[in-house]
Structure 1
């Protein structure tokens, strides 16, 4: 499997997608603050396996249409957009939230669970 290649910054449409997801979990003012924090956050790198573990999300199979599409992009050497995540909280047992990029995390994991993924990380308070 070829190396996963990443864009230097998330796509602009990733932020509204993250806001749509986060609106299911938090009130509008908190969502607005979190998205603003994501936009301002620096890129950090986290391993695919650690993102899945911290989020408590299952690894989607390679035949999932979105994972399959991302695997095809990886095979063609296309750049993927970095992932947007909201930090979890160990003291309250709140999992990390993958606000945008869950399928990209799964596709990357299928190539190599130790792959470093560029991530923008924001606190849940924004």
Structure 2
């Protein structure tokens, strides 16, 4: 594995571990961006946090890396409705509506994250 890919992997692991932990540290933030049409936002937030932590941990070990990377890719695809809902102007964070520019930035960044995780499915 190249040095660039190793550094990228470390950043990806740290990113998913921290993101997953944040679902438990500040659940109101994440629950606030879950579209209202999805049931059980508390459970969805917990599951998202657990999947992000599991994905980050799975990336650590070569034997589980490919499976974890595919799991992250699928998880990121599943998160797309959350980001598109932000574009509708109905998503609130801390009582304020998400600004469209931030929703577009987040939605634009989603494919980058998907490709980044996908890079480790063929390692």
Bigger helix fraction: 2
Higher relative contact order (CA 8 A, sep 6+): 1
Tell me, yes or no, whether TM beats 0.5: no
Sort the TM-score into its range (normalised by shorter chain). 0.3 to 0.5
Bigger strand fraction: 1
TM-score normalised by L of structure 2: 0.34
